[in-house]
Amino acid sequence: MEELSEEQLLNRRMGEVRHKILVLSGKGGVGKSTVAVNLAVALALAGKRVGLLDADIHGPSIPKLLNIEGYAVHGSPKGILPIQVGSNLKVMSIGLFLEREEDAVIWRGPMKHNAIKQFLKDVEWGELDYLVIDSPPGTGDEPLTVAKLIDTGRGAVIVTTPQKLALADVRKSITFCRKLSLPVLGVIENMSGFVCPRCGEVSNIFKAGGGETMAVEMGVPFLGKIPIDPNIVEACDLGRPYITAFTQSEAAKAFGHIILPILKMEETTVEDFGSFGPDEMREKEEGQMRIAIPVDQGQLSPHFGHCQSFALIDVDPDRKEIVNKEMVKAPPHEPGLLPRWLHDLGADLIVAGGMGSRAQGLFAEQGIRVIVGAPQMSPHDLVVSYLAGTLATGENICEH
């Protein structure tokens, strides 16, 4: 009964948060926490209600980066009160519970699991548009715990630097996300070139473009590059978010561009789509192809059979143009229903993240072709890539 009560409380707390974003990195030293802080602040400056959870139990750095070290954490009858930073940002970290900065947290896996679970279910986050979760490097206890505890409205942003050593570990992070059916919102290439403040010459200290190339190869979105700026170090030491301390810098402008795809998660339906019931579907014309894409939170759903809705996109394959786009609410989950249902809606092709071999066979019987291993992108971008012949597919991330 106690476990059931905890699960209900966790679901209620997280049900008030529309989008949960895990910030991951394959290795340390790539500036992940700095990116997480500035990402959260950028979303708050865009008028969104944002929470920032420091899930790095052994190396919590969020209090230092936001200059809230020593702030007292208080409780209420309903739970733990997060620290309010500005008008739109709430923060929680294990670092706020340490008496001294040099105190070490010496915990094994179960203790870390319980602490993160408590931060998710006992903190009074309230209604949020985004909860940004800064995880420690790698694919260990902390990111695994968060991914397991949060089932809906979640995605991962992966931070890397351009050199090959970092990129090799980032590939493991993407594989980690796929095995857990955690959508990858995109890759950020940090420390991408140094712009000399005197002459303006760009020096690629850690090379450049490696993160973008790797994202294309792995079939995940690329969110942008953040150049090296000595002022980032100064801002971190002062506990001031870089994008508010140096608003006109190139790195601050890069964050402004990076959050644009993330802000699109706010849309309840895919942009420019109309929402219809199955009986209101437009008939496709002769020579057109209808592509069906399972959708959650505006992007390709990793769980084909449990998605919220389907984007049905009519294309002219000869002219390689999109003719019509409509959104249809998915029917209740029932074994064997979707192949018949999508056949009746006129689907010719399904683009999916993953699908079991038995389900693929049922669609083949209905004359519907299936592409699996597609990246978590918007349906519009997936179809544009398909028509252009540039749709990169990876492994089949779902076999049930």
Residue 396 belongs to a domain: no
Residue 118 belongs to a domain: yes
21 and 154 assigned to the same domain = yes
356 and 244 assigned to the same domain = no
238 and 344 assigned to the same domain = no
Asked if 269 and 327 touch (Cβ cutoff 8 Å), the reply is: yes
Percent of the chain beyond pLDDT 90?
A: 36
Residue 393 belongs to a domain: no
CATH of residue 157: 3.40.50.300
The total number of structural domains in the chain stands at 2
Q: Is the pLDDT of residue 390 over 80?
A: yes
Which of 214, 247, 266 finishes a domain? Answer: 266
246 and 373 assigned to the same domain = no
202 and 291 assigned to the same domain = no
Which of 244, 266, 288 finishes a domain? Answer: 266
Go through 343-362 and write b for each residue having 16 or more CB atoms within 10 A of its CB, e for each that does not.
Answer: bebbbbbbbbbbbeeebbeb
pLDDT (0 to 100) of residue 151: 73
Q: Lowest mean pLDDT: which of 181-185, 200-204, 294-298?
A: 200-204
Kindly report, residue by residue over 329-370, the tens digit of the pLDDT. 888 777 778 999 999 999 999 999 888 888 888 999 999 999
Residue 15 belongs to a domain: yes
Q: What is the mean pLDDT of residues 213-230?
A: 84
Residue 395 belongs to a domain: no
Q: Is the pLDDT of residue 298 over 60?
A: yes
The SS3 call for residue 59 is coil
pTM over cut 0.95: no
CATH of residue 340: 3.30.420.130
Domain extent, residue 374, equals 274-388
Residue 343 belongs to a domain: yes
pLDDT (0 to 100) of residue 367: 93
137 and 239 assigned to the same domain = yes
122 and 36 assigned to the same domain = yes
CA 186 to CA 154: how far, in whole Å?
A: 13
User: What is the separation, in whole angstroms, between the first and last Cα of the chain?
Assistant: 30
Go through 205-238 and write b for each residue having 16 or more CB atoms within 10 A of its CB, e for each that does not.
Answer: ebebebbbebbeebbbbbbbbbbbbeebeebbee
Which of 248, 266, 284 finishes a domain? Answer: 266
Helices assigned H by DSSP within the chain = 2-15, 32-45, 62-65, 109-121, 141-149, 164-179, 210-218, 230-238, 242-245, 250-263, 337-344, 357-365, 379-388
pLDDT (0 to 100) of residue 275: 47
249 and 285 assigned to the same domain = no
Q: Residue written as tokens 């750095």? A: 61
Other beta carbons within 10 angstroms of residue 339's beta carbon come to: 20
pLDDT (0 to 100) of residue 134: 95
261 and 339 assigned to the same domain = no
